[in-house]
A and B are shown apart, each in its own frame.
Chain A
Amino acid sequence: MSNDYIKDKPIDVSTDTDRILLDGVERELYDFVDEEREEDFYRINEGLTEEIVRKISEEKHDPDWMLEFRLKSLKIYNELEMPDWGPPIDGLNMDNIATYVRSKSNMVNSWDEVPEDIKNAFDKLGIPQAERESLAGVGAQYDSELVYHNVRKDVEESGVVYTDMESALTGEYSEMVHEHFMKLVPPTDHKFAALHGAVWSGGSFVYVPPGVHLEIPLQSYFRLNARGAGQFEHTLIIVDEGADLHFIEGCSAPKYNTANLHAGCVELYIRKNARLRYSTIENWSKNMYNLNTKRAICEEGGIIEWVSGSFGSHESYLYPTSVLKGDRSHSEFTGVTFAGKGQNLDTGAKVIHIGKNTSSFIDTKSICKSGGISTYRSSVVITKSAEGAKASVNCGSLMLDNISRSDTIPAVDVRTDKADVGHEAKIGRISDEAVFYLMSRGISEAEARAMIVSGFANPVSKELPLEYAAEMNNLIKLEMEGG
């Protein structure tokens, strides 16, 4: 093990195969199915009716306004059409999806008190270990509810609030939550935003007070374990003036033969001169429909940085959006998508420039293999008011064989002539010569290919904290070996 080396040069973990091998390249790491004893879990019937929505609301002890909000959202859901631009989602039947499943035990803040079977699941994923090592706070959601939540004392004392959404709804910050909940992503946005509004459960609320800089990240981990269920967690983060936060979310689920659904919602408010980095490593199992909505709004001088690794799911619709409302606000999106066998991943980013002298960068890499389909879709809108805006889009695709498919659909809409917009796209394959070159130095063919793919994804992994970069490289290695 070469920890000394990694610490010296964190950027190069992409090539540190020792680390990758040590971590164990086993699909089972994510695919294990935990034996859930039925009597330990509360599960709402499959399907989506007013009765079910009322039942969820009752289970969760919602305030009145939230029940109303849910019912209104359900009505909107029933009125809206299915999205028609991306991968086909005919395989998803809401009548077969249980929208609410939770363990009968309550959320705890001591790891020892988490029920044994759930603890085992998270232990395998290294969750408490990661917390000890490098996090300021951790939330762990299992199916529909958080089972564990803990924040370091010094972080709490600095005034940072990091709690589950349910507590936030009724606690000290309930008004702030009410004021912001689904205002950035209204239920009318699209059908699955409406669905989320109706049946959402779990997720995190974070508030960072003015001027507070968190040196180490907060993390939420989402695990959907129940068969034929949906996960609809809501993440609401408010970074107040001049504050700074790095938030990480990780997701995984075991593979079942029935469809699972993830329709989460992330709303990020970045106030004047604040900065938020939002990192995601998503590894849903390959029966998951990942129809997730993420959106950030930046006030004057605010900065949002998205770092996104999409590896899992059967089908994904994912386009994190940055609304650059304030002058001089800035958005960066760095993402990698890996579509393997049976996967159709439609990912990208959106930016809306409103304020003057706003700037945005989009840098994405997509990889497809074994018949996987990877579509890069982006939209950059520069409104009339956004004089002096600068936008740059750079997307690269790597196809690992002849049966996979990669598409690039970048849209740019500029309404002022005082803007500077650049776009570059590249599609390529792994060169056999490059593989031979690495092999001539003693590296096996499989390893050489993995190194080239990891190198291609390096612009993303170098933006991640060490453990996550290693996890991402582990996932790349897994995908390279599988299929």
Chain B
Amino acid sequence: MADTLLQICGVSAAVEGEEILHDVSLNINKGETHVLMGPNGAGKSTLGNVLMGNPVYALTGGSILFDGEDISKESADKRACRGMFLSFQNPLEVPGLALDSFIRNALRQRTGKNVKFMQFNKDLMNTMKLLNMDPSYAERDLNVGFSGGEKKKSEILQLLMMNPRFAILDETDSGLDVDAVKTVSEGIREYQKREDGALLIITHNAKILESLHVDYTHVLVKGRIVKTGDASLVEEIGKNGFEQFL
């Protein structure tokens, strides 16, 4: 149990009174990469949002443990401070809030420590370079006027700068062209390289997983996990689709 990071214990969740997730259980250990696949509307994004504590979704059953502690009732910021992270499927635009000062501010809130400007700026520039982001984006308003691809890169930039212990990537590959998928994938690999960083990658596209190490694959259908396997399951779904699980 020493290596267990996240325990999802029989979680059911509803949005606007309608139950989307039914009795979902899943354990994620330190350093592991899990993939969550499933047809549209299966509840994949709901699970990501429930794990992060989006108040729109109500936990109707079960519990979520992080480091063995029950975080089911904690707000999103507290979960983030514990080291959780969610890369949004549709990152929001916040006018007047510059990307770089936002990340720095968030880092400061999360770690409770001052973040030295010079070092921060160096890290930020290096990470943006890794992600093929134009340095001018650092001073732009958070996601405002960013293309779909730049928004996703902005999420991975935040991931690498925040350096959480567990990250949920919600369809980070959707709407990206081939080159952008490659870049984002490199960013994720960079995160995997770091010690103990765990991942839950939500996708219905195998492309982004090609160059990533995957430990487990789960298939979610109609709010239930119907199959768990290793990396080869991704390939199988790529060939045969979800038909067999319906």
Chain A residues in the interface with B (C-beta under 8 A): 2, 4-5, 8-9, 11-12, 14-18, 431-434, 436-445, 447-448, 451-452, 454-459
- Cross-chain pair count, CB within 8 angstroms: 114
Q: In the complex, which of the residues B85, B94, B118 contacts A440, with contact meaning CB atoms closer than 8 Å?
A: B85
Given A441-B80, A447-B109, A458-B96, A16:B75 Cβ within 8 A: no
Secondary structure dominating the interface of B: helix
Closest to A396 in B: B95
Determine if A441 and B55 form an interchain contact, defined as CB atoms under 8 angstroms apart. no
Task: Say if the beta carbon of B149 comes within 8 Å of chain A.
Answer: no
Q: In the complex, which of the residues A4, A5, A437, A442 contacts B91, with contact meaning CB atoms closer than 8 Å?
A: A437
Size class of the contact patch on chain B? 35 or more
Q: Given the complex, which residues of A lie within 8 Å of B104, measured CB to CB?
A: 5
Determine if A456 and B95 form an interchain contact, defined as CB atoms under 8 angstroms apart. yes
Complex: A456 Cα to B141 Cα, angstroms = 11
Determine if B56 and A2 form an interchain contact, defined as CB atoms under 8 angstroms apart. no
Closest to B98 in A: A12
Q: Which 9 A-B pairs have the closest CB atoms?
A: A455-B96, A458-B96, A442-B110, A442-B80, A441-B106, A439-B76, A455-B97, A12-B101, A5-B117
Chain B residues in the interface with A (C-beta under 8 A): 52-56, 75-77, 79-81, 85-86, 88, 91-98, 100-110, 114, 117-118, 139, 141, 158, 162
- Give 17 new A-B contacts, CB below 8 A, not counting A438-B106, A440-B88, A445-B77: A9-B100, A11-B98, A12-B98, A15-B105, A16-B101, A17-B105, A17-B108, A436-B55, A436-B56, A438-B102, A439-B77, A440-B76, A440-B85, A441-B109, A443-B77, A443-B106, A455-B96
Give the Cβ gap from B96 to chain A, nearest Cβ, in Å. 3
Determine if A456 and B77 form an interchain contact, defined as CB atoms under 8 angstroms apart. no
Given A440-B85, A445-B75, A452:B97 Cβ within 8 A: yes
6 sample A-B contacts, Cβ–Cβ < 8 Å, listed by A number: A12-B139, A436-B76, A439-B75, A440-B85, A441-B77, A457-B96
Q: Given the complex, which residues of B lie within 8 Å of A456, measured CB to CB?
A: 95-96
Determine if B96 and A2 form an interchain contact, defined as CB atoms under 8 angstroms apart. no
Q: In the complex, which of the residues A8, A11, A16, A433 contacts B105, with contact meaning CB atoms closer than 8 Å?
A: A16
Complex: A432 Cα to B57 Cα, angstroms = 12
Determine if A437 and B105 form an interchain contact, defined as CB atoms under 8 angstroms apart. no
Q: In the complex, which of the residues A5, A9, A437, A442 contacts B81, with contact meaning CB atoms closer than 8 Å?
A: A442
Determine if A451 and B94 form an interchain contact, defined as CB atoms under 8 angstroms apart. yes
